[in-house]
Amino acid sequence: MLIHALPITHPQSLTAEPLTRPAFAPFGDAISNPRPDARPSNTDPAAIANGALPFGAVSANQGTAIQYRGLAAVREYYAQAPSGRAGAARLTMFVCGTRELESGGSSGGGDGNGDGDVGNGKGKGEAGGEAKKDSVQVTILERHPFTSQTFIPLTADASKRYLVIVAPSLPPGATDEGLPVPDAEAAQGATEKANGAKLPGRGLPNVRRMRAFVATGEQAVTYAAGTWHAPMMALGPADSTIDFLVVQFANDVPVEDCQEVALERQGSDERSRIMVRVPDAERWGLPKL
């Protein structure tokens, strides 16, 4: 449910970066086969038992499979929801239509580090022609305060791409007073404490520190509970889709399941919006879309 409108007062842009586990770690887990080279046929179960593979790997299915048990922190904190309604595990499918890329407007392109405020008027292409259509606008962010949420594309195709956009939380303030979120201290289990992980807190999104990641069909992503994120954006040919299986918890109390913040232009400057530039991923060795 919509809980707030955040004014965007000046043009802002950032450049998407490749989705990697370390880069995404502050927001959750980027998931992929950690060792595509390791197969049941070439990896001794005894070596797996001795820790030859990462992420809590074990030999499974009578030695015909490798199971990685620690790829993502799937968590729920509904025991702390003010309504007292328990959350239940839910598996749904999001059929995400591809987003049409548009010109980044005034943006000269940020660095991908989330602080790429712009306004230098570089809206044209290098040769002064039409600006390249390589960007998407972020108009809304949302979070699921009491549950992690995992998006798993139903494809193992590296030529399928999607855009994962996230933002850290601001320190709590008057504008978010009263919003239900779990108490970080109480919610932390032993694992989180050992890993030094913590929940993002009650604050609204810090849009100046927004980050964007390009994921491929060979990757899944888990947003940690309470992580601000944009609705999933599939990339690719017009009118195509990426189908995602989505695993989360929910209790059907709207403000406890999903809190949304609209990013609204303030003032007369049409360029006051947040644009994410999607670079040509061939530069990262990925096939052309």
Ranked by CB distance to ligand UGC, the top (closest) residue is 232
Q: Distance (Å, rounded) from C-alpha 231 to C-alpha 190?
A: 31
> What is the DSSP code (8-state) at residue 255?
H
Question: What's the min distance (Å) between Cβ of 270 and ligand UGC?
Answer: 26
Question: What's the min distance (Å) between Cβ of 103 and ligand UGC?
Answer: 24
Give 3-state DSSP helix, strand, coil % of the chain, rounded to 5: 10, 35, 55
Question: What's the min distance (Å) between Cβ of 142 and ligand UGC?
Answer: 6
Question: What's the min distance (Å) between Cβ of 287 and ligand UGC?
Answer: 24
User: Please, which residue, 118 or 164, has the CB nearer to ligand UGC?
Assistant: 164
Query: Which residue reads 């390009």 in tokens?
Result: 214
User: Please, which residue, 8 or 166, has the CB nearer to ligand UGC?
Assistant: 166
> What is the DSSP code (8-state) at residue 117?
B
Question: What's the min distance (Å) between Cβ of 253 and ligand UGC?
Answer: 14
User: Please, which residue, 8 or 234, has the CB nearer to ligand UGC?
Assistant: 234
User: Please, which residue, 68 or 162, has the CB nearer to ligand UGC?
Assistant: 162
Question: What's the min distance (Å) between Cβ of 94 and ligand UGC?
Answer: 6
The contact set with ligand UGC (CB under 6 A) reads: 94, 142, 149, 229, 231-232, 258
User: Please, which residue, 83 or 195, has the CB nearer to ligand UGC?
Assistant: 83
Phi-psi region of 196 (alpha: psi -120 to 50; beta: other; left: phi over 0): left
Query: At 45, is the secondary structure helix, strand, or coil?
Result: helix
Q: Distance (Å, rounded) from C-alpha 224 to C-alpha 32?
A: 16
Question: What's the min distance (Å) between Cβ of 11 and ligand UGC?
Answer: 25
Phi, psi for residue 209 in degrees, rounded to 5: -115, 25
Contacts of residue 181, Cβ cutoff 8 Å, sequence gap at least 6:
145, 146, 199, 201, 202, 226
Q: Distance (Å, rounded) from C-alpha 165 to C-alpha 269?
A: 24
AA letter at 224: A
The 10 Å Cβ neighbour count of residue 286 is 15
User: Please, which residue, 119 or 231, has the CB nearer to ligand UGC?
Assistant: 231
User: Please, which residue, 4 or 10, has the CB nearer to ligand UGC?
Assistant: 4
Q: Dig out the tokens for 257 from the structure.
A: 């399941």
